[in-house]
């Protein structure tokens, strides 16, 4: 995978579907983003049920997430509760609030795309599996784009979530900002 515009620059997957920010207080951030930029409403899931590894070793990534629509992309707000080991915490936890956590992309082949990006110099920092069995890779691109790259296959199940979030935004009057799922 090369960048046709500039072969010296890394090529990222084509389908950017989400931008995520780390926030200190999930519910407050949902209201702030709704008020400031009109994002939302937000579907909130507390303490996501996942299994993960960091650099190939078992790790803890206890987080809550809120999913809302912001223009053409999904906005995810991430509140970290526990992130271990320390080397993973240094990658995922930011000193400044409301800083980019990751950019998410749908890909056709998770392993092939992940391997291509690793060959371009983006190390694989975390692999996770959701409670539904969805596999996700996080690659460290902080030096290049200011955040991590999140990759997953755009399965029918996952695309339904994206569609639901986008549909909720259409005609939304700004009320009922936080909705728990």
Class of CATH domain 15-171: alpha beta
List, for residues 97-147, the tens digit of each pLDDT value.
Answer: 678 999 999 999 999 999 999 999 999 999 999 988 999 999 999 999 999
The pLDDT value given to residue 11: 82
Check the CA dihedral 2-147-78-88 and report its sign: positive
Query: What separation, in Å, do the N-terminal and C-terminal C-alpha atoms of the chain show?
Result: 37
List, for residues 73-82, the tens digit of each pLDDT value.
Answer: 999 999 999 9
Domain boundaries, the chain: 15-171
Q: How far is residue 30 CA from its own chain's centroid?
A: 15
Which residues is 137 bridged to in the sheet?
127, 151
- Contacts of 88-92 with C-beta under 8 Å, sequence gap 24+, read 88/54, 88/55, 88/59, 88/61, 88/125, 88/126, 91/125, 91/126, 91/140, 91/142, 91/148, 92/22, 92/61, 92/126, 92/148
Average pLDDT over residues 47-56: 94
Angstrom CA distances, 58 to 71, 85, 108, stand at 36, 9, 26
Computed over every residue of the chain, the mean pLDDT equals 93
Prior bond of 59 cis (ω within 30°): no
Q: CA angle, 74 as apex, 72 and 79 as ends, to 5°? A: 150
């Amino acid at each position: 995978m090369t960048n046709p515009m500039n072969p010296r620059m890394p090529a990222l997957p084509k389908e950017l579907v989400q931008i995520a920010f780390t926030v200190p207080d999930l519910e407050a951030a949902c209201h702030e983003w709704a008020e400031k930029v009109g994002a939302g409403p937000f579907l909130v899931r507390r303490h996501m049920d996942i299994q993960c590894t960091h650099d190939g070793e078992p790790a803890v990534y206890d987080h809550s997430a809120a999913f809302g629509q912001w223009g053409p992309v999904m906005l995810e707000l991430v509140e970290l509760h526990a992130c271990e080991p320390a080397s993973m915490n240094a990658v995922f936890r930011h000193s400044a609030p409301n800083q980019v956590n990751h950019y998410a992309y749908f890909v056709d082949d998770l392993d092939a795309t992940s391997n291509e990006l690793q060959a371009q110099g983006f190390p694989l920092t975390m692999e996770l599996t959701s409670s539904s069995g969805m596999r996700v890779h996080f690659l460290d691109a902080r030096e290049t784009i200011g955040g991590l790259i999140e990759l997953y296959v755009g399965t029918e199940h996952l695309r339904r979530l994206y569609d639901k979030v986008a549909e909720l935004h259409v005609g939304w009057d700004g009320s009922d900002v936080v909705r728990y799922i």
